[in-house]
Amino acid sequence: MLVLEQVKAGYGGRQVLQIDELRFPENRISILIGRNGSGKSTLLKAMAGILPYKGEILIGEENKRFLSVSEMSHKKRARKIGLLPQTQHPVDMDVETLIMHGRFSRLSWPGRPGKKDMEAVDKACRTCGIGELSGRIVSGLSGGERQLCYLAMVIAQDPEIFLLDEPMSAMDIGHQIRIMEIMRTLKKEGKTIILTSHDLPQSFTLADRIALLSEGRLLCEGTPEELSERPGLVKKAMGAAVRRKEGEGLLYPYVLTES
């Protein structure tokens, strides 16, 4: 479980985020929704420990102890939390080398990949369905292929918690469906997934829990069913409401509505 209490964060001395209390349950897919500038990416950066914050961001342990993200070493934090930023640079290295970068926090002395690391990279490639890309140069891939490779790097890192910033933005529908399947697979493996999104039908279909942000504040959170029963609040924050539609073969059983 990831717990936030009285968290404040911002840039250059300007506060842009204040979350009084928010809990992300383990082994669930939680999605942060909100307009541009609502604080979604800022919140992910704070939870990843790469943006200074005030308050408490805590990770629950199996023995019911809670560890503070800000007090962890970089190596330990990397074993707990994996972050996929919204923008990935098209680097000039082969895909397998890129994915191996995810193993750096787990390499044993003298820092050379071993059998376990190679197995983790191979598994990440299979999970993302990119085995045929392993010898390709990252900068020569399409945007969707590159996103899958960076996601595989985070999977090879083997964190307990995945923080994914708009992982399906600007992707064709085929790649979006694949990433949704990957997230469901990770959930089955016991991982906790927290991502940001602008796509309401997709978010309400995929998520176990949804947190709605507006102007750096938490407006409400709950299951997709619970939030779909508050269309006025969702529309005020997002410009459209969402309701569930009955029918066979629907890719997204939630649809946009005016009210």
Residue 194 is predicted with a pLDDT of: 98
Q: Where do the structural domains in the chain lie, given as residue ranges?
A: 2-257
pLDDT tens, position by position, for the chain (259 residues)?
999 999 999 999 899 999 999 999 999 999 999 999 999 999 999 999 999 999 999 998 766 789 999 999 999 999 999 999 998 888 999 999 999 999 999 887 677 889 999 999 999 999 999 999 989 999 999 999 999 999 999 999 999 999 999 999 878 999 999 999 999 999 999 999 999 999 999 999 999 999 999 999 999 999 999 999 999 999 999 999 999 998 888 899 999 998 8
Kindly report the CATH number that applies to the domain delimited by 2-257.
3.40.50.300
Q: What is the DSSP track for 173-196?
A: HHHHHHHHHHHHHHHHTT-EEEEE
* pLDDT at res. 62: 66
How many other CB atoms sit within 10 Å of the CB of residue 108?
A: 10
CA distances from 245 to 44, 173, 201, 231, 253 (A): 31, 20, 11, 14, 5
Question: Residue 175's pLDDT is what?
Answer: 92
- What pLDDT score does 112 carry? 84
Provide the pLDDT for residue 111: 74
Dihedral sign computed on CA atoms, order 108, 27, 129, 146: negative
Alpha-carbon distance of 95 to 75, in angstroms, equals: 23
